[in-house]
Amino acid sequence: MIRQLINGASEAPLSILDRGLHYGDGLFETMLVANSKIIHLVDHLYRLRDGCRRLNISTPSSETLVSECALLLGDVKEGVIKIIVTRGDATRGYRYADNQVANRILILYPPVHYAEQNWRCGITLRVCQTRLGSNRQLAGIKHLNRLEQVMARAEWNDDDIAEGIMLDAAGNVIEATMSNVFMVENEQLMTPDLSECGVAGIMRKNVIDSAQTLQIPLKIENIPLQRLVCADEVFICNSIIGIWPVIAIAKQGFELGPITSKLMNLLKVLPSA
C-alpha cells in the first residue's frame, strides 16, 4: 500500500499546473525507513535544502518535513519515503515568480526486498550506452530531470544484472543509474568527481566520511571506464541498498575485497539475518 501527503494533506490532489510535472522543476529525496526510523534523515534534509538553494526554490522548513514524515509513517516500521519538492504551480512558460511557494509531495512505499546475496556475494554491473550530459549548474543535485537514468535503466531486462554504470560524454565513469560508484586501487579508495554531472548521494557522503574514520585514503577524480575495470575492488551505494560489492562488470570479475567489507561493517549495511 502506498500513502501520500501533498502539502500536508492526505486527500489533496496534485495540481495539474505543478512545475515538477511540466519541467521537472524540483528535487527529491528517497529515504530508507527501518525499525520505525528514517535513516540519515538529517543528511537528506540538508541535501534537499542545498538543492533548493541552488535552484532558487523556496525551502520547506525541516520541522514541517519531519512532522509530515512522522504523520505519513504512522506506525509503519519498514518502507521507503520519497519526498518531492517542486517549485510550485506554474502559469505558462519557464519563468517563475519570485514569491513562488514550493509544493511538498511525500510518498510512503512498502519496503523493497532485494536478494540477500547482493550484499553477501556481490552483484554484476553492465555499462550503459546512454551517456550523462554535463552541466556544472545542475551537477550533484538530485533534481527531477531524470530521463537519462530512465533511458539507461531501459537498456537491460536481465535480472542477473543489478545495476548499470553511466559514463559522461568523455567516457568517464560518473555513477550507476540509481547509485554511486566507488573503487579501490592499491588500497586507495576512489569515487568519480561529480562537478560536471551525476548525483551526490547521501550514502556516497557516508562512505566518504567512513573512509576518513577508517583512515582509508580517498581520491575524488575523473575515472575512465578502463581504470574502473582494472580496479582491485568495486562497490556501489545508495540510501536504500547501503553498499553492494561488485563482482563483475561486463566480463571482468572482481573479488569482494577487504576495504569494501570494512566499510560495509562500519556502515552496518548488511541485512539482518
Per DSSP, the three-state class of 149 is helix
User: Residue 96 Cβ, how far from a second copy at the closest point, in Å?
Assistant: 7
Residue 82 annotated in active site? no
Identify which of residues 25 and 233 has a Cβ nearer to a second copy in the complex.
25
In this complex, which beta carbon is closest to a second copy, that of residue 97 or of residue 214?
A: 97
Contacts to a second copy by CB under 8 A: 2, 4, 6, 13-25, 28, 30, 55-56, 80, 82, 84, 86-87, 92-96, 105, 107, 109, 112, 130-138, 143-154, 169, 177-178, 197
Min separation Cβ 145 and a second copy, Å: 4
**Judged by CB, which is closer to a second copy: 79, or 190?**
79
CB burial readout 228-241, b (16+ within 10 A) else e: bbebbbbbbbbbbb
Q: How far is the CB of 74 from a second copy (least distance, A)?
A: 18
How many whole angstroms separate alpha carbon 113 and alpha carbon 154? 21
Cα gap 200→214, rounded to integer Å: 21
Measured CA angle at 249 (ends 126, 29), to 5 deg: 55
29, 68, 163, 175: the catalytic one is 175
Sheet containing strand 79-86, edge to edge, reads 3-6, 103-109, 79-86, 26-34, 37-38
Per annotation, catalytic residue among 68, 142, 196, 233: 142
Least separation in angstroms between CB 50 and a second copy:
16
Q: How far apart are CA 69 and CA 52, in angstroms?
A: 19
Residue pair 215/186 in contact (Cβ under 8 Å)? The answer is no
Q: Catalytic pick from 30, 86, 177, 260?
A: 30
Q: How far is the CB of 4 from a second copy (least distance, A)?
A: 5
177 is catalytic: no
Shortest distance, CB of residue 212 to a second copy, whole angstroms? 31
Give me the DSSP letters along 38-57: ETTHHHHHHHHHHHHHHHTP
Amino acid at site 226 = Q
When the beta carbons of 196 and 233 are compared against a second copy, the nearer one is 196
Pairing between β-strand 233-238 and β-strand 180-185 as defined by DSSP bridges: antiparallel
**Annotation says 77 is catalytic:** no
Angle between helices 202-213 and 41-55 (to 10 degrees): 120
What angle in degrees, to the nearest 10, is found between the helix axes of 41-55 and 62-73? 130
Q: Closest CB to a second copy among 80 and 266?
A: 80
Which active-site residues does the annotation give?
A: 30, 142, 175
